[in-house]
Structure 1
């Protein structure tokens, strides 16, 4: 009976360890998704800005549009 109790305790401890590791992994994935969402939001804003400026350049008869020259100041 005592051996069965020790085995059960060992299995419970292993499950607790596994659960803790899964929680850590889930939190890490959640943090990564949040960072990716921020990056995506920034890229979408930049793309909207580029599309807004395209007609201005085409209508002005100026230089061809060069996205590399339009890098926002925070880069």
Structure 2
């Protein structure tokens, strides 16, 4: 996923997304503090027929060693064993 401020560009949205109907979107970001901002609502608007799973936002202190957090997150949303 991109940094959340890029999601505000309408042109970027149109170029990146395509029909993900029936698919699961698992959003994640690394952030120095802004988290998801408007990213989740933008994805839900662009992909109304897709499932948007709970996202993972890693702060800068977690970004250098995200393994455990990512594994736990993927398990919690049903995308890993």
- TM-score category (smaller protein): under 0.3
- Give the TM-score normalised by structure 2: 0.20
Given the two structures, how large is their TM-score scaled by the length of structure 1? Answer: 0.21
Which structure has more relative contact order (CA 8 Å, sep 6+)? It is 2
When Rg is computed on C-alpha atoms for both structures, the one with the higher figure is 1
The structure richer in helix per residue is 1
Which structure: greater strand fraction?
2
